[in-house]
Amino acid sequence: MKIMFSAGEASGDTHGASVAKALLEKYPEAQLFGMGGDLMKQAGVDIIYDIQQLGFIGIVEILKHLPTFFKLRSFLKEAMLREKPDVLVCIDYPGFNMKLAKVAKELHIPVVYYIAPTIWAWNKGRGKDIAKTVTKVASIFPFEAEAYREFGVDVEFVGNPLVDIVHPTMSVEAALAHFGADTRSRNILLMPGSRKQEVEGLLPTMLAAAELLYENHQDLKFFLPRAHTIPREDIDRILQGYSVPVTVTEGHNYDLMQICTACIAASGTATLETALMNVPTVLIYKVASVTYGIGKLLVKIDHIGLPNIMAKRRIIPELLQGDVTPENVERELANILDHEAVYTQMKADLAQVKVELGAPGAVQRVADVIASVAMKEA
């Protein structure tokens, strides 16, 4: 059984690694290869294109780098022709992966899409394309599966993989010791994203907000877990411009989360991770103004944060575009830190989001879906 993967960013690398491990545990003879990062490589995937070379975010940004994407698609098409995989597994990264899925369809290679395009948020016209192109969608949200069924897509709600992935490996005491923290301080998590553009756009605002917070909250300690797609020197360069002390950490993110009081996070998977770890979070999101303007025309949802989308109401604060200022971020986080009722309610709401994400075992169910599709073709 030969399985090709296409994951385009850090969160996809995390999900791809978990699925790869589950596949190899159950099907040790399987050959896994494709596009991914360090985690997938460690899990046993032969990485033929490293995603550290990617990292563009919005419509404007991607347009500037179109030649890169065309070359990459051709490169991966050549790999399909050469290796003849039994299935292509697309993970997230819809702008690129939908085009790659069409290439696979033309080559009669079935496609499983995991962490599928958000047709419930964007223009639903994409649902028809997915029905034509994708063999099976492994859906991670119940409301998403329903949206896909409306278009006649073969979809299975597998549960949410983060339920399996997001848990600490250390005791609280061991985590405090590992990260050099103690019970006298309140630890604040800074999660500026996994793409270079995000980090450069959001981390300065986070650090400026941290400086403001620190003026009136001397017991705070700030931690920044480095995404493996961001070189350490890039983070250090930005940190040099700010006086607030920040500890940059490597790995054990969920052990770090369990000792944190609150978080400032870029919109994306991180906000679902902090929800599962029950860490009250301020979400921030900023892209090129043209990208945001086009997005506003296309997106059909009231909230941008996954915890808020799932709750169908705003349970964590969201700051978007021009509202992403140090003063606003400081105000929202101070509101969480200084008001017990706000803090307690947010933790209760996040606990309910965790319940709605479904039972553990999603990763194994995804592996079974992939193997089932691959074996039909083998």
pLDDT band, very low/low/confident/very high, at 67 (cuts 50, 70, 90): low
CB 69: neighbour CB atoms within 10 A? 18
Q: Which two tokens stand for residue 171?
A: 């005791």
Provide, rounded to the nearest whole percent, the portion of the chain with pLDDT above 70.
90
Give DSSP secondary structure letters for 316-374: S-EEEGGG--HHHHHHHHHHHHH-HHHHHHHHHHHHHHHHHT--S-HHHHHHHHHHHHH
The pLDDT of residue 301: 64
Output the six-digit token pair for 225. Answer: 């877990």
Angle at 13 (CA atoms; ends 59, 306), nearest 5 degrees: 60
The per-residue pLDDT for range 126-175, each reduced to its tens digit, is 788 899 999 999 999 887 888 899 999 999 999 998 898 899 999 999 99
- Using the 8-state DSSP alphabet, how is residue 52 labeled? G
pTM of the full structure:
0.72
Residue 69 DSSP one-character state = H
Instruction: Locate 22 and state its tokens.
Output: 């589950």
What confidence category does residue 83 fall into, taking pLDDT thresholds of 50, 70 and 90?
very high
66/306 Cα distance (integer angstroms): 29
| Per-residue pLDDT at 95 | 83
Of 57 and 272, the one with more pLDDT: 272
pLDDT > 70? residue 122: no
pLDDT at residue 268 in the model: 85
Backbone angles phi, psi at 247, to 5 degrees: -95, 115
pLDDT in the model for residue 182: 87
Interval 216-230 mean pLDDT:
92
Q: pLDDT digit string (tens) for 143-155?
A: 788 889 999 999 9
Delineate the domains of the chain, giving CATH numbers in brackets: 2-159+361-377 (3.40.50.2000), 172-356 (3.40.50.2000)
Which band of pLDDT confidence, cut at 50, 70 and 90, is reported for residue 291? very low
pLDDT of residue 294: 43
Neighbouring residues of 120: CB distance < 8 A, sequence distance ≥ 6: 143, 144, 147, 300, 301
Instruction: Report which of residues 40 and 228 the model is more confident about.
Output: 40
d(CA 114, CA 237): 35
Asked if 117 contacts 98 with a C-beta cutoff of 8 angstroms, the reply is: yes
> Lowest mean pLDDT: which of 28-32, 78-82, 89-93, 162-166?
162-166
Question: Is the CB of residue 17 less than 8 Å from the CB of residue 23?
Answer: no
C-alpha angle 287/256/192, rounded to 5°?
Answer: 10
Share of the chain above pLDDT 90, in %: 70
Residue whose token pair is 């994400």: 357
- In this predicted structure, the answer to whether residue 123 has a pLDDT above a threshold of 90 is no
Distance CA 60, CA 63 (A): 5
Predicted pLDDT of residue 118: 77
As a whole number of angstroms, the distance between CA 197 and CA 71 comes to: 21
Whose structure tokens read 């003879």?
29
Per-residue pLDDT reduced to its tens digit, 172-194: 999 999 999 988 899 999 999 98
Q: How many CB atoms lie within 10 A of CB 262?
A: 22
pLDDT at 120 over 70: no
CB 77 within 8 A of CB 99: no
Region 213-226: mean pLDDT is 94
The stretches of the chain forming alpha helices (DSSP H) are 10-26, 38-42, 59-64, 66-83, 94-106, 126-133, 142-149, 162-165, 172-178, 196-216, 232-239, 253-257, 269-276, 289-298, 306-311, 326-338, 340-356, 362-377
pLDDT at 276 over 50: yes
CA-based angle 203:205:206, to the nearest 5? Answer: 60
pLDDT 10s digits, 292-339: 454 454 455 678 898 998 888 999 999 998 899 999 999 999 999 999
**pLDDT exceeds cutoff 60 at 372:** yes
